[in-house]
Amino acid sequence: MTMQRCGIEAIEAALDAGEDITRVLALRDCEDPRLAALLNRCMDAGIDVILGSENDLWRMAETSPALALALVGREPDADLDTLLERGGLIWMLAGAQYQTNIGYCIRVAEASGASGLIVTGEWTSDDRHRIVRAAMRTHRFMPVIFGCDGLEALESWTGRVVAIEDVGTEEPWDADLTGDVILIVGGENAGISDELLATADQTIRIPMAGFTPSYNLQAPMAVVAVEALRQRRS
C-alpha cells in the first residue's frame, strides 16, 4: 500500500480513519484556508509539518498538483534501534564510497517503500550534504542512518538478511523478499565483505549478459527494489 496521501481531502480522510500519519509536506506561502485548517489539525495531533516549494510538491506528488502530501506508516526520524525494532524492508549500503551514488540509492530505497536505509562508514557533514542533495532530499521522508557498523547492526536484527552480490546463485525473483528483511548492497569497488556475506541467509545475483559484467550501484538495487515491492504487494 502506498505511503503517501496526496491532497487535502485524502489527508483529511486519512486523519478521520486514524491512519499513522507521521509527517506532512505542505506548500509554502499558500493562503488557501482549507490548507491552513488542515495544518492546524495536523499540528494539534502532534504531526510534524514541513513546508516546501511548488516544485517540491510537484516532484513528490503521486498525482499533481497538490497543496499537501502526508507520509503514512514510516517514522522518518527513527534512530537505528527504532528502525530495527520496527522491521519491514531495510536496505544497507555496505562500503559505498561515492556521495552521488549513495544519494541515488536513497531515492531508490524511499521509492521502494522501505522502512529505512543504513549507510556504513564514516561521513563528514559536507559528505552528507552532497548525498542528500543527490537524493533530492527524500531523506526527509525515510530514516537514513549514517556511520554505523554493519556487523553490529545485523547482530541486533531478528529478521532475515539477503545479500546482493555476484557470488549469489539465485536471481531476485527466486528469493523471498517479504517480511522483515535487510537487503545488503556492497561498495562500488570491493563489493560486500566476507564478514557481512557470512551473515546472509541468502545471496542473490543480478543477471548480466554484457561484455562488462557490472552495473552501476543503483541499478541492481533498483531491480531488487521493484521485485521486493511486487512481492510485498501480493
To which residue does cell 550534504 refer?
A: 129
pLDDT digits (tens, 9 = 90+) for 188-210: 888 999 999 999 999 999 998 88
| Confidence label for 126 from pLDDT (cuts 50, 70 and 90) | very high
93 and 185 in contact (C-beta within 8 Å)? yes
Q: Supply the mean pLDDT for the chain.
A: 95
Burial of 74 (0-12, 13-18, 19+ CB in 10 A): buried
Quickly count helices (H) and strands (E) in the chain. 9, 10
Q: CATH class for domain 4-72?
A: alpha beta
Residues forming CATH 3.40.1280.10 domain(s) in the chain: 80-233
Instruction: State the Cα–Cα distance between residues 88 and 154, nearest whole angstrom.
Output: 14
Ranges in the chain annotated CATH 3.30.1330.30 = 4-72
Backbone angles phi, psi at 107, to 5 degrees: -65, -40
CA distances, 117 to each of 6, 128, 139 (Å): 24, 14, 9
Q: What is the pTM of this model?
A: 0.93
- Chain-centroid distance, C-alpha 112: 6
Domain 80-233 has CATH 1.10.10.10: no
CA 93/CA 158 separation, integer angstroms: 19
* Banded model confidence at residue 211, pLDDT cuts 50, 70, 90: confident
| Whether the predicted pLDDT of 1 surpasses 70 | no
Cis bond before residue 143 (omega within 30° of 0): no
Residues in the chain: 234
* Cell numbers found for residue 220: 541492481
The DSSP bridge pattern shows strands 181-186 and 68-72 to be: unpaired
Q: pLDDT value at position 64?
A: 79
Res. 162: pLDDT tops 70: yes
pLDDT tier at 123 (50, 70, 90 boundaries)? Answer: very high
pLDDT in tens, 74-120: 999 999 999 999 999 999 999 999 999 999 999 999 999 999 999 99
pLDDT (tens digit, 9 = 90+) per residue, 20-72? 999 999 999 999 999 999 999 999 999 999 999 999 999 999 887 899 999 99
